Amino acid sequence: MRSEYRECGRCKAKVPGNILDQNLSVCPECGNYMRFHAKKRIKSIADSGTFKEWENREPISNPLNDAYYQKAFEGAKIRLNLNDAIVDGEIEMDGIRVAIGIMDTRFMMASMGHIVGERITRLFETATRRKLPVIVFCCSGGARMQEGMISLMQMEKTAAAVKRHGDAGGLYISVLTNPTMGGVTASFATLADIILAEKGAMIGFAGARVIEQNTGVKLPEGFQTAEFQREHGFVDAIVTRENTKACLSYLLRMHAGNKKRAGKIRETKAQYRRGEAGRKSAWEKVMIARSLGRPTSMDYIGKLFDGFFELCGDRLGGDDHAVVAGLAEFHACPVTVIGHQKGKGSMEDAIYRNWGMPLPQGYRKVFRLMKQAEKFCRPVICFVDTTGAACGKEAEENGQGPAIASLLQEMCFLKTPVLSIVIGEGGSGGALALGIGNEVWMLENAVYSILTPESYASILWRDNSKAPEAAQQMKLEADDLYALGIIDRVIREDEPVTVENMDCVCARLNADIADFLYRYQRKRPGDIAKERYRRFRKF
């Protein structure tokens, strides 16, 4: 019997086929991700014995009457036992039924012609009728040139099918594998609710060689990799082959029956007492809110929620590390969590997070995930902690004002409950952008203001040394804002909360958030939006 070996394209090692099968087609010598055949990939993610392939007998489309294409197509069919570059059907993942499409680059580099476009379109149409989520593993060299303009028409056809599935409330997750290029990238592959990318995959519209030939510019190392696309805001997360099934199963579970699962939240009356410490001045509270030891959004997310899965990018060209956002569970109820994130561990971390001051792409990321939460009936929990929106050349060039304005407008009419909690500094419109909640709460030693006390003193009195006086004048403390009706609840701190002593405050927040979700799960989506509008209309 002939031994089957495959050569790694990177290190040139010859690896036995059975070893590659065990290793999910990852080279054991250098870690290179080698081609992973469609049916092998299905086997790696589907519950055993659950894959049901859907009928696929579409005849070849050869509108240009290309004899060479006809011969190459028929040869690929026989050699690979595939009807074209996609295998589609239905599987179960951890018991959840899913419509699945897997593209296979062995078949003419998985280029998209009529059959691939038709099968992708029918995949979404069938999933819409059967109310199934869709997962597509994408890979492609682009449009199938041998079919001319018929191939190009598949881009609009597949994009429209994705839109109809989404409008019906269907979940779509795409996994971009190596390579995903051209018309596939510019259609169904990048229109998913959640976009994952396999580690190291090449993803783009035009190929690097084409770009270099047309521009005469040498492209940088790592250009168009999955990691590059994540950094530039087009991919939510990077996955390895080893963790792909676990990641997909978690995301499916988070979207399975949200309304029903929300019923697990039960009303819990919050019990807390007023702090015993002496009355602090407004300026002292500003200093406490800014202190390095005060917990960040990620600290609260880690304490209050399970299974946080970060989603990245604004899908328009960037990601912003000053805003963290993603999916999580609160007592088994799926929620979207969003927060400003200050870097406090080191100077490098502070720079990486831009000191918690969001750029326009951060607000656009929030906008995207707010709309996603509305689509899937997920409550939104926001943690507010920023001195304000980023101010500078980059922010202005990228539309800081319009980005915040669009988010404020969208949040006001969002048909899912939003809870905003000011945990540290709440500065200006940059904080308000995450503060349009059905309810707004503040920790006792947090502050929320139109601008910093230093700026207030500098503008009004031309003396920023009067910042302590300005803080007192500005009524930026939680109790003052509660009296004004700006916030709805003060979360008491027995002592100024730090990372070390935050368990007590988290216990109070846990009870209060449970109460919030219990009350709002019984309200109709339209009423939730109307209540939020009325809340801000009164000001």
What is the tens place of the pLDDT at every residue in 19-46? 999 999 999 999 999 999 999 999 999 9
Mean per-residue pLDDT, 95-107: 97
Mean per-residue pLDDT, 219-233: 94
Mean per-residue pLDDT, 494-505: 96
Same fold, 36-254 and 296-452+490-532: yes
Per-position b or e across 160-169, b if 16+ CB within 10 A of its CB? ebbeebbeee
Query: What mean pLDDT is reported for the chain?
Result: 93
DSSP 483-500: HTTS-SEEE--SS---TT
- Residue at token pair 């950094």: 231
> Is 68:76 a contact under the CB 8 Å cutoff?
no
Question: 174-183 pLDDT, tens per residue?
Answer: 999 999 999 9
> Is 104:142 a contact under the CB 8 Å cutoff?
no
> Is 497:443 a contact under the CB 8 Å cutoff?
yes
For residue 174, the model assigns a pLDDT of 98
Minimal CA–CA distance to 95: which of 259, 252, 254, 263? 252
Residue percentage of the chain with pLDDT more than 70: 95
- Residue at token pair 């997750």: 173
The length of the chain is 539
> Is 293:495 a contact under the CB 8 Å cutoff?
no
For residue 266, the model assigns a pLDDT of 56
DSSP letter at 202 equals B
For residue 258, the model assigns a pLDDT of 53
Q: List Cα–Cα distances, 392 to 302, 316, 360, 509, in angstroms.
A: 32, 20, 11, 35
Terminal C-alpha separation, the chain: 81
Cβ atoms within 10 Å, residue 36: 22
Bridge-based pairing state of the strands 237-239 and 306-310: unpaired
Give yes or no for residue 278 having a pLDDT over 90. no
Give yes or no for residue 275 having a pLDDT over 80. no
Bridge-based pairing state of the strands 323-330 and 306-310: antiparallel
Question: 421-440 pLDDT, tens per residue?
Answer: 999 999 999 999 999 999 99
Question: CA-CA distance, 202 to 207, in Å (whole number)?
Answer: 9
Q: Whole-prediction pTM value?
A: 0.91
The CATH code of the domain at 36-254 is 3.90.226.10
The CATH code of the domain at 296-452+490-532 is 3.90.226.10
Give yes or no for residue 509 having a pLDDT over 90. yes
Minimal CA–CA distance to 291: which of 453, 446, 476, 492? 446
pLDDT band at 317 (very low <50, low <70, confident <90, very high): very high
DSSP 158-181: HHHHHHHHHHTT--EEEEEEEEE-
Q: How many alpha carbons lie under 13 Å from residue 493 in its C-beta half-sphere? A: 24
DSSP 386-403: ES-S--SHHHHHTTHHHH
Per-position b or e across 357-380, b if 16+ CB within 10 A of its CB? bbbbbbbbbbbbbbebbbbbbbbb
**Both structure tokens of 120:** 């992708």
Contacts of residue 101, defined as CB under 8 A and 6 or more positions apart, other chains included, come to: 86, 87, 88, 119, 120, 123, 134, 135, 136, 137
**Chain mean position to CA 61:** 37
**Chain mean position to CA 344:** 24
Give yes or no for residue 150 having a pLDDT over 70. yes
pLDDT band at 165 (very low <50, low <70, confident <90, very high): very high
Question: Structural domain boundaries of the chain?
Answer: 1-34, 36-254, 296-452+490-532
Give the SS3 label for residue 271. Answer: coil
Residue percentage of the chain with pLDDT more than 90: 88
